[in-house]
Amino acid sequence: MEHFTDIDPREMKIGVVGAGSWGTALAHLLSTKGFAVDLWVFEAEIAEQVRETRENRVFLPGVRLPEKLVPSNDIEQVVAGKPLVLVVVPSHVMRQTAGRLAECLDVRSIVVSASKGIENETHLTMSGVLRQVVPNLGGDRIAVLSGPSFAKEVARQVPTAVTAASEDRATADFVQRVFAAPFFRVYAHEDVIGVELGGAVKNVIAIAAGIVDGLGLGLNTRAALITRGLAEIRRLGAKMGANPRTFSGLAGVGDLILTCTGDLSRNHTVGKKLGQGKKLSQILSEMTMVAEGVRTAKSVYNLSRKLDVEMPISHEIYRILYEEEAPKVALKRLMTRDLKAEMDEDREATENA
């Protein structure tokens, strides 16, 4: 199907749907490159704030937003006729947002998802939800953007590298050119499901890493947790048809390391407070932004049981979050599991995928 990839990127208008920290940071990136960017903002007061002060003080304070970035509460105005539409909303509202996109999206538009999560009810990734809801949105018009990238650091133009993946290499290359900047290096990729799984499941492992830190355990523990967490992501990916090599890249181990060790990680913060003894309800009530790993933990737990994929760390995080299991009890259960060879379970998972 014909789409907009033949347009000179410098002449494009871009619609960004979602004005949280990551959506605002990416809109800032694109507008500083010279693109005219319309930003859909859910909250009317934040849209007005951006218009008047050129700053999103709720989700990305301290960053001045260029005049080429225009906030709006009208999603049709933001999306209609745009060659490229970037969707950056929490995973639990992706389906509702996709329904609104379906009403105004141009049949030639490229849609890029920078949202990370797995839907609870369907176990679809975010590109899967988009394809299911938006009519005629095929793989050649969808891309995903993922990798180790905290919004505040991207907004400060700290050197960052990410991955843009699409089933269609021309689309991946197009998205790569649109987002690439001297401080923002973008690699093209074709493994959409692998890139999305890496970006989603790492948030669950990041909660575990936060618990480790909250309990006051050592660097040994954290290193083991990250390594075995990566093995779980790889096993699930193999079962779902991902390329195992993807998880050695930016969207896999890169994003996992960042989210498990960085102080800016919301998911790590949730885990740390759990390890310190706080209740999940209290932690979430004190947060402005969404910690995707909390919902994704439920999806991963149910999906891994459905597919018969061994993910002991992820299962313990589910029990801590949803069954009020004590972190120390979960840790003891993980450490006293049956002994086994390190690589045998991963080889078996790959061979049976």
Close Cβ partners of 5 (under 8 Å, ≥ 6 residues apart): 110, 170, 171, 174
CA atoms of 206 and 261, how far apart (whole Å): 8
Residue 39: C-alpha distances to residues 8, 58, 66, 91, 150 (Å): 21, 15, 12, 18, 19
Q: Rounded distance, CA 135 to CA 126, Å?
A: 15
Task: Write out the DSSP string of 248-290.
Answer: GSIIIIIHHHHHHH-TT-HHHHHHHHHHTT--HHHHHHT-SS-
Residues acting as catalytic residues? 202
Place of tokens 């079962």: 239
Residue 56 gets which letter from DSSP?
B
